[in-house]
Amino acid sequence: MSNSAAEKLLKAYGIVRPEDIDLEAIAWGLGAKVKYRPLKCCEARICGHGDRAIISIDNGKLPQRRRFSLGHEIGHWIYHRGQLLICRSEEIGGFAGFRRGPVSPEGVADQFASDLILPSYILTPILKDYRTLNLKAVKEIATTFKASMTATAIKLVQSNRFHAMLVCHGTLGREWFLRPPCVPDRWFPQDDLDRESYAFEALFGSKVEQSHPRKIGADAWFDRAEAKNYEIFEHTFPLPNDKILTLLTFTDENMMDERDTSRSFRRGR
Ligand SMILES: [Zn+2]
């Protein structure tokens, strides 16, 4: 990931600090002019002719969101020139990529935006200051990179440096989850939220961010028999459209063992 197209582009401009990532200047350098205006049918779009393009971004959205949309459209300009793409809200921002796979145009544009706004070569040295992942860390890094909480949380979990996982729920159940390679794949979150979880309360009740991570039995999130032996931390924050995103962090090393050690222990007795 360190040599992605987005990062090569940033390096070509000599960018080494988060505050120097000027997306409009990068778009301009690629022949694309950026306009912010009200858009009814979509959140962003690009209209290209030859080697010139106009990127339109809905000015009614939050600044971090507009920034991600701009990165996403620059990705389309690089990878999908000549195709007509109208990018609706649900197609920008990390969700489409998980649903449709990393090779779909929306997934490619999202990954490009993520690498452009939160480039690993600038982010990795900063992450050395963080031993554990929590929403406070996500918020600090999001502010530094002018990125959304969601885009930042996804990037940090993807970094594979933390024993953590992201799970997104809507009122109809789980929408997607992101588990890094360092977390064993037997930890597959349940479809529906457990009524005991704080996330359940956030989704169907308060709709507010939890003030701090809370400890909860792992069996509220995972239906494996061994889950009842463990506790994890959950920390939920609301997303637009009545969705919530929960950061689960694992502090019990036994959960991170590739094998289900509780089972081998029982068999051994
Ligand atoms: Zn798109």
Taking the C-alpha atoms of residue 110 and residue 2, their distance in angstroms, rounded to an integer, is 16
Please give the distance, rounded to the nearest whole angstrom, from the Cα atom of residue 72 to the centre of ligand 1. Answer: 6
Q: Which residues surround ligand 1, an ion (CB under 5 A)?
A: 87, 106, 109
> Is 0.85 surpassed by the pTM of this model?
yes
Please give the distance, rounded to the nearest whole angstrom, from the Cα atom of residue 158 to the centre of ligand 1. Answer: 21
Taking the C-alpha atoms of residue 96 and residue 88, their distance in angstroms, rounded to an integer, is 10
Please give the distance, rounded to the nearest whole angstrom, from the Cα atom of residue 208 to the centre of ligand 1. Answer: 29
- Any bridge partners for residue 238, and if so which? 244
Q: Which domains does the chain have, with CATH numbers?
A: 5-117 (1.10.10), 163-256 (3.30.450)
Please give the distance, rounded to the nearest whole angstrom, from the Cα atom of residue 54 to the centre of ligand 1. Answer: 14
Q: What's the start-to-end Cα distance of the chain, in Å?
A: 45
Taking the C-alpha atoms of residue 168 and residue 177, their distance in angstroms, rounded to an integer, is 6
Phi-psi region at 253: left, alpha or beta (left = phi > 0; alpha = psi -120 to 50): alpha
* pLDDT tens, per residue, the chain with 269 residues: 446 999 999 999 999 999 999 999 999 999 999 999 999 888 899 999 889 999 999 999 999 999 999 999 999 999 998 777 778 877 777 554 555 566 788 889 999 999 999 999 999 999 999 998 999 999 999 999 999 999 999 999 999 999 999 999 998 999 999 999 999 999 999 999 999 899 998 899 877 777 889 999 999 999 999 999 999 999 999 987 789 999 999 999 999 998 887 765 554 44
Please give the distance, rounded to the nearest whole angstrom, from the Cα atom of residue 88 to the centre of ligand 1. Answer: 7
